[in-house]
Amino acid sequence: MNSGFSAAEIAHFARDGYQIVRGLVPAPARARMLEVAARDLDNAAGPVEYEADTQYPGSPESRDAPGGRTVRRLLQAYARDAVFRDWATAAPIVSRLRQLLGPQIALSQAHHNCVMTKDPRYSSLTSWHRDIRYWSYQRPELVSVWLALGEERPENGCLLVLPGTHVMTFDADRLDAAQFLRTDVTANAALLQAQVSVELDPGDVLFFHCRLFHAASSNRSTRTKFSAVFTYHATDNQPLPGTRSAGMADVIL
């Protein structure tokens, strides 16, 4: 399998802020990741984040409310099982990241580094946001890698993206206090109409820029959706001391 982006794919990423690679993960590795994720979800094997913790639209009001113990993310995937470590550092991933970020890269254990689980009964809606809003680095230049462990479609809450927003600037009145993109202002209307649903098949991988606005709906299907997500940066783009981004050691690749 080709382990690098083509020139056209690099150009697409530079223009739109994301690139999909179809069928990148071999079926045995994907099946093993899904097996581990399903096991840990059934056991609520920590560390985890619950839907109630997010306080997103549609989430349970508290951990004690109905559905309050619904797991949203299985955290610390890199340390959770060797299958995730192997995947996160695999040559087809690292080689592409070097094309986007430079020759020396690191995996952040402080951000993403998880298996996203979207439950059909209590999943919440994720509003339009950029991940860099709560990350602290010398430069806002990081790339996240999203692996679909199952089908991802609008009905089960696949990602939505706003192409090109990673290179745009936004006046304060276009964002709310938490840096979510406001859907109630005229200035954002045309942008929101340009949204793209990132539909993925099992084994497909999405690379996306940390400044790209993205969102997701709730899961309206009958099955839990699983996605493994890791984030990377150049080694000369260090997390700022004393911030959450510097809270765990990076993995140098």
Is residue 110 situated within a structural domain? yes
Is residue 229 situated within a structural domain? yes
Is residue 133 situated within a structural domain? yes
Number of folded domains that form the chain: 1
Note the pLDDT of residue 59: 78
Specify the pTM: 0.94
78-100 pLDDT, tens digit each: 999 999 999 999 999 999 999 99
What b/e sequence results for 172-207 when a residue is b if at least 16 CB atoms lie within 10 Å of its CB, and e otherwise? eeebbeeebbeeeeeebeebeeeeeebebebbbbbb
Rounded CA gap, 145 and 114, in Å?
11
DSSP string, 5-27: --HHHHHHHHHHSEEEETT-S-H
Q: 135 lies in which domain range?
A: 7-55+70-252
Is residue 63 situated within a structural domain? no
CATH, residue 85: 2.60.120.620
Is residue 124 situated within a structural domain? yes
DSSP 222: S
Note the pLDDT of residue 69: 86
Note the pLDDT of residue 55: 78
Count of CB atoms situated within 10 Å of the CB of 208: 25
Residues of the chain falling short of pLDDT 50 = none
Note the pLDDT of residue 1: 52
Is residue 60 situated within a structural domain? no
Note the pLDDT of residue 124: 82
Is residue 64 situated within a structural domain? no
Cis before 47 (ω within 30): yes
Note the pLDDT of residue 125: 85
Is residue 65 situated within a structural domain? no
Note the pLDDT of residue 216: 95
